[in-house]
A and B are shown apart, each in its own frame.
Chain A
């Protein structure tokens, strides 16, 4: 009902609802994605024009981002290709500080005059807003890196793989789901390449080439007699990888409890679609869960979203300080809790770290979007809240003298701000497998894959669903169950964490289109964990009649 730069593309039938996919840039043909319109020397020359213009107009700091953002999205249903969209967005964004206030302007006119004008506009906006500014911006120092570059380590550039090969793979997966009992299947492949050039008055010139990929499907089985239907999404994970992720590899998957299959740094989409066909048929016949307290055994491909919502967002410093109060909200993890040095966010075995360097993850880059080298740092140590996520203009608030390197913008056209790095739960130190974990549970539920998720604006109360649910009775999987959602409070939940599987079970979950800010921007972020147990969590039954 609103005009936005979001296109309603051919739908992923997520249980009847269409998925709205944010599409940045203009559609172009595929060859265009492989062209290189501008070399690094020219980018440096253009960036310097912007930096000099900003300084000449009174800016005390400036950064210039020349960005080329390429996407390819492919959508199919059953035996039909619905849409293949290639997009390119090319332009420049200039951000400045003048009179202690931020200003930003962008243009798709990547010429000397275009950049000059954007720098002047950004400086004029900063000066206009400076009149009602009460807190002058204070930037943490950053090293001058000179001319450097970084590239996602990849074996196959997904964009260069012929379209036919990608469409055939999706259609084969669809056929496998149908052959295994599904009535309908939608599948999609999202591929993203960010070619970003960053320059600032601090003396850094950073050229980066970032790649991400996400295969997904939605398989539906229908029981015409009862009028019921069940759907299941893919158990893939979006990755910061090339098309090699789509090449199945025996050593990159493991069979888990309940006949589930778990994929690590390679994905077998056809096999997973076949399993989805079978599992949705089984779900139609499964029992409805009895509401009550259960011990939950959460698979990494499920727990990732719980980490994202209850720890990732809660430890964003801009939320804690109130900058997101009008949109996503604030946070219960307030500065006084952090200062006390004894706020028990979780049990003693809960160690959560932020990391922008983890290979294969969605958040991995060499430098963030304000020219800070990325790193790893602790957020929760032995259950205690020890740090937040902070960028250059926030570091002083938590008494640090450098940014954490987690500043990001979705395009040249949007201003960069603090975004969530990969936030992950450390695996357990002792050897312990998901099968052993289930053996130790008397009354519980094993949950695999992401589902419905909702959390309050200060990140206390949440409710999560999942993709697959298996009831556990006396150390054994009893069978699949339906209508499960668990509700808890963040601190209570993480303090009920009693056991974590070892590193051989550790894998990443990903959120490909995470939204934040006004105007809203998307970002992609991974969350690693091993299968983890939480004791006595409140489970509700979600079945209703209409």
Chain B
């Protein structure tokens, strides 16, 4: 297993530092083991396990720097990787945006690693596949799914005395269930740091039920509809917004957060005042690494507060240039939700659409954060507080900014791809055409 302990990692990195003659040296050492199983047509198609560990070194002379990496760790190899980076750095052009490495930092622990996940066996993976395939077959449905588990460590050290180390484990599961008559399709996704929180059979049953419910879908006219977006349907649109909150792009005038006439929209109201989005590596449900790649400690950062742009991410160079503190980008996304269940939101809807997921999402206009994509694997028409029938998939053209201005109600949060996202009801969501895809 490619997990080095804190002491083992520190020992290698200290040795690396001792071999350097550069003005400053930065090094990163990380490794992981990753197992997977993939199935389709109700049978296993591929499975495997990969193990890797590598060391990257950056040497700096004045404003010149260069990097080199290696995956051997004897003294001779460590000397070689340092020497290579140093030789290259001397030849490199000066980088006017060069920043001196950070000094020592204080980091709080974030519980991202669970031994249970690191101990997942090939038999466990096969069992998860079986728990999808057998119930599917019994209902004349075909399952296609994928389970991947990763466990590893990351560490960084520099010659100014900074050292950071963390371990991490992840499990990700998705399954698509398609009825054998070709008219219904359902899907589910689950991800956890601790495998003990994962119930593969329960997850598969959700996808199976959606597949059976979505048979014989009817077409409705595209247009503006009230939608209930399950967390898996909105996570990518919200993530696209969150990851585009860089201050530099906005200051340069090429971001949705650029202000007319110059500057950024920080401090301005952007969306409905009930919208609060933050990141927090110490959240127990979605723990994340407590330090960023350049060694900055990560804490709780509020990005949108009561609908107002509260923070934008600043790299160290841009922060210095603008005279502000650096703000590392988000390690996860947490949107504050409410108490309502999906069923509650359906009950309070006179006419609307329940969306399981949105797929093939692509930028149409970066200036307005306009995206296009399609509903997939379970789209249902709601009338007078009840699901009336499945509907054919539709293409949308919508911006998360417009969407969050049209917020009707927030419901319970769910973990999706390492984030906590509530189910939400949105009015006037724009669908532009029908799709025949099931």
A27 in contact with B126 (CB, 8 Å): no
B144 in contact with A456 (CB, 8 Å): no
On chain A, the residues within 8 Å of B48 by CB distance are 104-106, 125, 415
- Contact residues of A between 475 and 514, Cβ < 8 Å to B: 483, 485, 487, 489
Q: Which residue in B46, B69, B366, B372 is a CB contact (below 8 Å) of A28?
A: B69
- Knowing A16-B244, A135-B43, A461-B395, say if A546 contacts B369 (CB, 8 Å): yes
B47 in contact with A125 (CB, 8 Å): yes
Tell whether B22 is near chain A: CB-to-CB under 8 Å. Answer: no
A2 in contact with B253 (CB, 8 Å): no
A229 in contact with B253 (CB, 8 Å): yes
B360 in contact with A455 (CB, 8 Å): yes
C-alpha spacing A323/B143, complex, angstroms: 10
Report the minimum CB–CB distance from A482 to chain B (whole Å): 9
B43 in contact with A133 (CB, 8 Å): yes
On chain A, the residues within 8 Å of B240 by CB distance are 17
Q: Which residue in B95, B170, B367, B438 is a CB contact (below 8 Å) of A15?
A: B367
Q: Which residue in A16, A322, A326, A329 is a CB contact (below 8 Å) of B255?
A: A16
- Residue interface mask A3-37, B partner, CB < 8 A = 1: 10000000001111100000000111100000000
Most A CB atoms within 10 A — which of B67, B93, B365?
B365
Query: Contacts A322-B40, A463-B372 given; 10 further ones with Cβ under 8 A?
Result: A1-B419, A28-B68, A183-B253, A326-B187, A454-B360, A454-B374, A460-B435, A461-B393, A463-B397, A545-B368
C-alpha spacing A82/B420, complex, angstroms: 34
Spot the interface stretch: A146-154, A219-227, A293-301, A371-379. A219-227
On chain B, the residues within 8 Å of A458 by CB distance are 436-438
Nearest neighbor of B48 in chain A, beta-carbon distance? A104
Report the minimum CB–CB distance from A305 to chain B (whole Å): 11
B142 in contact with A544 (CB, 8 Å): no
Tell whether A81 is near chain B: CB-to-CB under 8 Å. Answer: yes
C-alpha spacing A90/B122, complex, angstroms: 26
Spot the interface stretch: B156-164, B226-234, B256-264, B344-352. B256-264
Spot the interface stretch: B10-18, B100-108, B171-179, B299-307. B171-179
Tell whether B71 is near chain A: CB-to-CB under 8 Å. Answer: yes
B372 in contact with A413 (CB, 8 Å): no
- Knowing A229-B254, A542-B364, say if A332 contacts B46 (CB, 8 Å): no
Tell whether B87 is near chain A: CB-to-CB under 8 Å. Answer: yes
- Contact residues of A between 389 and 437, Cβ < 8 Å to B: 413, 415, 417
- Knowing A81-B93, A326-B145, say if A546 contacts B399 (CB, 8 Å): yes
Report the minimum CB–CB distance from A543 to chain B (whole Å): 7
- Contact residues of A between 22 and 78, Cβ < 8 Å to B: 26-29
On chain B, the residues within 8 Å of A518 by CB distance are 36, 38, 146, 148
Tell whether A244 is near chain B: CB-to-CB under 8 Å. Answer: no
- Knowing A17-B244, A332-B437, say if A184 contacts B254 (CB, 8 Å): yes
24 A–B contact pairs at CB < 8 A?
A: A16-B244, A16-B366, A17-B244, A17-B366, A81-B92, A81-B93, A104-B46, A125-B48, A132-B43, A224-B262, A227-B261, A322-B40, A325-B176, A326-B40, A327-B174, A455-B360, A460-B435, A461-B374, A465-B364, A485-B364, A487-B433, A519-B36, A544-B399, A546-B256
Tell whether B84 is near chain A: CB-to-CB under 8 Å. Answer: yes
7 cross-chain pairs, A with B, having the tightest CB-CB distances, nearest first: A227-B260, A15-B366, A461-B435, A458-B437, A325-B144, A456-B437, A326-B144
B258 in contact with A227 (CB, 8 Å): yes
Tell whether B32 is near chain A: CB-to-CB under 8 Å. Answer: yes
C-alpha spacing A446/B261, complex, angstroms: 33
C-alpha spacing A520/B260, complex, angstroms: 40
Q: Which residue in B40, B97, B254, B363 is a CB contact (below 8 Å) of A220?
A: B254
Count A/B pairs, Cβ under 8 Å. 240
- Residue interface mask B69-83, A partner, CB < 8 A = 1: 111000000000000
Report the minimum CB–CB distance from B189 to chain A (whole Å): 10
- Knowing A3-B32, A105-B48, A452-B363, say if A227 contacts B259 (CB, 8 Å): yes
On chain A, the residues within 8 Å of B49 by CB distance are 105
Nearest neighbor of B405 in chain A, beta-carbon distance? A546
Spot the interface stretch: B50-58, B213-221, B380-388. B50-58
A27 in contact with B437 (CB, 8 Å): no
Tell whether B150 is near chain A: CB-to-CB under 8 Å. Answer: yes
A27 in contact with B67 (CB, 8 Å): yes
- Residue interface mask A287-318, B partner, CB < 8 A = 1: 00000000000000000000000000000000
Tell whether A345 is near chain B: CB-to-CB under 8 Å. Answer: no
On chain B, the residues within 8 Å of A332 by CB distance are 436-437
B365 in contact with A17 (CB, 8 Å): no
Tell whether B274 is near chain A: CB-to-CB under 8 Å. Answer: no
B436 in contact with A224 (CB, 8 Å): no
A452 in contact with B362 (CB, 8 Å): yes
- Residue interface mask B179-212, A partner, CB < 8 A = 1: 0000000010000000000000000000000000
A102 in contact with B46 (CB, 8 Å): yes
Tell whether A457 is near chain B: CB-to-CB under 8 Å. Answer: yes
- Chain A interface, >50% SS class: loop
Nearest neighbor of A102 in chain B, beta-carbon distance? B46
Q: Which residue in A15, A27, A129, A452 is a CB contact (below 8 Å) of B372?
A: A452
C-alpha spacing A419/B148, complex, angstroms: 22
A interface residues, tally (CB under 8 Å): 79
- Knowing A224-B261, A461-B434, A542-B364, say if A80 contacts B40 (CB, 8 Å): no
Report the minimum CB–CB distance from B282 to chain A (whole Å): 16
- Knowing A3-B168, A544-B365, say if A323 contacts B397 (CB, 8 Å): no
Report the minimum CB–CB distance from A273 to chain B (whole Å): 17
- Knowing A17-B366, A326-B144, A518-B36, say if A460 contacts B436 (CB, 8 Å): yes
On chain B, the residues within 8 Å of A460 by CB distance are 435-437
C-alpha spacing A454/B375, complex, angstroms: 12
A128 in contact with B122 (CB, 8 Å): yes
Tell whether B412 is near chain A: CB-to-CB under 8 Å. Answer: no
Nearest neighbor of A171 in chain B, beta-carbon distance? B93
Nearest neighbor of B152 in chain A, beta-carbon distance? A3
- Knowing A129-B44, A326-B144, A457-B359, say if A80 contacts B435 (CB, 8 Å): no
Report the minimum CB–CB distance from A67 to chain B (whole Å): 14
On chain A, the residues within 8 Å of B328 by CB distance are none
C-alpha spacing A28/B366, complex, angstroms: 35
C-alpha spacing A519/B259, complex, angstroms: 40
Tell whether B310 is near chain A: CB-to-CB under 8 Å. Answer: no
- Knowing A3-B32, A546-B369, say if A323 contacts B144 (CB, 8 Å): yes
Report the minimum CB–CB distance from B166 to chain A (whole Å): 11
Most B CB atoms within 10 A — which of A101, A135, A458?
A458
B95 in contact with A129 (CB, 8 Å): no
C-alpha spacing A415/B45, complex, angstroms: 11
C-alpha spacing A518/B96, complex, angstroms: 41
Report the minimum CB–CB distance from A88 to chain B (whole Å): 9
Nearest neighbor of A16 in chain B, beta-carbon distance? B366
- Contact residues of B between 423 and 438, Cβ < 8 Å to A: 432-438
Q: Which residue in B56, B175, B419 is a CB contact (below 8 Å) of A27?
A: B56
Report the minimum CB–CB distance from A397 to chain B (whole Å): 11
- Knowing A2-B418, A458-B438, say if A129 contacts B126 (CB, 8 Å): yes
Nearest neighbor of A325 in chain B, beta-carbon distance? B144
A321 in contact with B41 (CB, 8 Å): yes
B433 in contact with A461 (CB, 8 Å): yes
On chain A, the residues within 8 Å of B298 by CB distance are none
Report the minimum CB–CB distance from A546 to chain B (whole Å): 4
On chain A, the residues within 8 Å of B253 by CB distance are 183, 222, 224, 227, 229
On chain B, the residues within 8 Å of A326 by CB distance are 38, 40, 144-146, 174-176, 187
C-alpha spacing A381/B251, complex, angstroms: 53
Most B CB atoms within 10 A — which of A105, A129, A231?
A129
Tell whether A145 is near chain B: CB-to-CB under 8 Å. Answer: no
On chain A, the residues within 8 Å of B360 by CB distance are 454-457
On chain B, the residues within 8 Å of A487 by CB distance are 395, 432-433
Tell whether A340 is near chain B: CB-to-CB under 8 Å. Answer: no
Q: Which residue in B32, B187, B417 is a CB contact (below 8 Å) of A2?
A: B417
On chain B, the residues within 8 Å of A459 by CB distance are 437
B254 in contact with A325 (CB, 8 Å): no
